[in-house]
Amino acid sequence: MKYQKLGNTDIDISVVALGTWGLGGGSVWSDRDSTAEEAARLLDACRDHGINYIDTAPVYGTGVSEELLGRALKGRRQDFVLQTKCSLNWRGEGGNFHYSRDGYTVNNDTRATAVKKDVEDSLRRMGTDYLDAVIVHYVCKSFPVDETVSALEDLIREGKIRTYGLSNSQPADLDEYKQSSSRVSDGVSVVQEFFSILSPFHGRDYFKTARKYNTVFQTYGVLEEGFLTSPEFMERRFAKTDIRSRLPWLEEERQAGLRRAFAIWEPLCKAHDCSFANLVEAWALTQYDRMSLLVGMRKPSNVADTAKCLDIHLSPEEIRLMEEAVAAIQVEVLDK
């Protein structure tokens, strides 16, 4: 495993991070529900392969993902860098309506009181007295950035969090949050944004600003929720509520284009003795020098396979070939 610092902090993070949206289950991930025992085996595999960086969020299964992780982390909390999020909650205490799902109404609220309650709730669900990082899940323009930053820095002073970051944001948001930070912290250490070879535009627009602040860019969606793992995945069908049913890769024209891309990429997989997933993960790591590869892994075998991507070294010609293969089906904006 390879490691890097989380922004300008002294926190060492593995380049590959464990994403746990899928652990939450529910209608968004309708194929299976996870157990605490499965979560524990997943963390065993992460530790075996040197992955110490875990990302979760309160709304992943409306508390389920955090609760499962809390049980799986007992006795080994110190072995992992634990990151969760704030701003999305279902307490009914205000904020902007975000969505209704599985009997809950989730609002986006970045006011100081909401941020602090989010962190307290996460600490309780995961049975820990501190979080290594907290990310503002959805940057919100309805409430002052100074107020949000002040709350996060209060939490740093109190020893409840070590650093913070942004998600679903724009480069200008990173500038604004950095300008609002004080000496208690160096401000935003990580931005977590959607980025894949099928939709790379937002990420590439963000890299310059992230680099200016030595900020880690943590990509989610690099495997397009499984659609970039194999041609066979496109044969699967999902419930209407499932996130995968809403992606454009089920459209006939784009599926045809993606099958052509797999055919072009297959010789590269053979040359590097790797899976399609490894190939696109390796591609993502070539795009930014402080990349954190956030991958939703639900089985120990997923962890073992993902770790192999760090051994792949793509040439400029191979990178060009991969990108040209999907140019005709790329999407500017994906709403997940």
Nearest residue to 295 via CA among 312, 311, 278:
278
Degrees, nearest 5: CA angle 245-286-188: 80
Active site residues: 60
Q: How crowded is residue 141: how many other Cβ atoms within 10 Å of its Cβ?
A: 10
Instruction: Using CA atoms of 27, 52, 281, 252 in order, give the dihedral in degrees to the nearest 10.
Output: 0
14 near 51, Cβ under 8 Å?
yes
Kindly tell me the number of DSSP H helices and DSSP E strands found in the chain: 10, 13
Q: What is the DSSP letter of 129?
A: S
Concatenating the DSSP letter of every residue in 55-70 gives E--TTTTTTHHHHHHH
**Distance of alpha carbon 204 from its chain centroid, rounded?**
17
Give the C-alpha distances (Å, rounded to integers) separating 320 from 159, 256, 317: 46, 20, 5
Copy the structure tokens of residue 175: 């500038």
Q: How crowded is residue 233: how many other Cβ atoms within 10 Å of its Cβ?
A: 18
Residue 48 CA to residue 39 CA, distance in Å, equals 14
Secondary structure of 210-230 in HEC code, one letter for each residue? HHHCCCEEEEECCCHHHCCCC
Backbone angles phi, psi at 45, to 5 degrees: -65, -40
Residue 310 CA to residue 274 CA, distance in Å, equals 11
Residue 245 CA to residue 155 CA, distance in Å, equals 38
